[in-house]
Structure formats: structure tokens, C-alpha cells
Amino acid sequence: MVKSSEHGEPIVSKEFEDNLHTIILRPYITEKTFNLIEKENKLTFIVADSAKKDDVKRAIKIMYESDVREVNLFRTIQGKKAIIRFTKDDEARQLATKLGLV
């Protein structure tokens, strides 16, 4: 459960914080997803089959200190994917660089 502190920062339960890496499994990069980074400020991740949009949004905010505008989830042969659009311009590229993807 996430609540807000006096300063508006999320307070995350210990259980949720321990499960962050079971929600976001790994980044997913292909030529198509690389174009999403460049043109639409979006990154793609493989996530847990049980992950919900709110879980993914909170996990990205906590793990990478990034503000998420929207999350789209869908299932593929590779697993459940999350396409994440960030609020700040060029944030997807900065995070991809930080993760060593570009």
C-alpha cells in the first residue's frame, strides 16, 4: 500500500519495496522499441505476469526515480510487456542511457 508523506512523497510498504524486482523483470530492446525511445519518449520492460498498471508505475518511480505518464500492458510470447511513457521530455532516453541500453 502506498500513502503520501507530509511532503507528497510516496510511502511504500516494505513488502512492496522488496518485490520491486519481481514486478519489473528487465528492459526489452528491439529496433522498434528503440524507435519508441527516440520518437515517443517510451521504454519497454518485461514485467511479471501478475503485474498491474499501478504496480508497474510505482515500481518505475521508486526504482528509477522517474515520473510516469502512462503504462500500457500486453502479453506476448516473450512474456508480459509494459510500455511506459514518461512525463518529462527525453526522460526515456536518459533512463535508457543510465541502464546501458543505448
Containing domain of residue 62, as a range? 2-98
Read off the pLDDT of each residue in 38-42 and give the average, rounded to a whole number. Answer: 96
Query: Which pLDDT band holds residue 3 (cuts at 50, 70, 90)?
Result: very low
Total count of domains within the chain:
1
pLDDT of residue 2 exceeding 70? no
pLDDT of residue 1 exceeding 80? no
Cell numbers at 94, concatenated? 536518459
pLDDT of residue 36 exceeding 80? yes
pLDDT of residue 40 exceeding 50? yes
Q: How far apart are alpha carbons 86 and 76 in whole angstroms? A: 22
Cα 62 from chain centroid? 9
Q: How far apart are alpha carbons 98 and 17 in whole angstroms? A: 21
Sheet with 24-27, strands from edge to edge, namely 24-27, 42-47, 79-86, 68-76
pLDDT tens per residue across span 78-101 = 899 999 999 999 999 999 999 998
- CATH code of 69's domain: 3.30.70.330
pLDDT tens per residue across span 42-76 = 999 999 999 999 999 999 999 999 999 999 999 99
